[in-house]
Amino acid sequence: MNERVESWAGEEYVVRSVTGSAATRVYRCPGCHQNIPRATPHVVAWPVVPTSFARDAEGLDERRHWHTPCWRARERRR
């Protein structure tokens, strides 16, 4: 898996690249609010430290699928 840690808005996020062949569902990108069609390469990002106060929360519960260009432009989309 191609995972890395990147910063955004003062938080650290695990970012994973998803290949087109592994993208089997349609997702909505939180950057542009448009669909990411099946078979489209994109990234998945989630906080290293969960933002939820739930006792059993994990950062993975907060993962979001982004178009790769939207993730790269995330600082400009505040």
Q: Per-residue pLDDT tens for 14-71?
A: 999 999 999 999 999 999 999 999 999 999 999 988 776 655 556 667 899 999 999 9
pTM to 2 decimal places: 0.84
Q: Where are the alpha helices (DSSP H) in the chain?
A: 68-72
What are the Cα distances from residue 21, in Å, to 17, 24, 37, 38, 60? 12, 7, 12, 9, 21
| Under 8 Å between Cβ of 23 and 14 | no
21 φ, ψ (degrees, to nearest 5): -70, -25
What's the CA gap between 73 and 35, in Å, rounded?
A: 17
Residue 78 has pLDDT above 90, yes or no: no
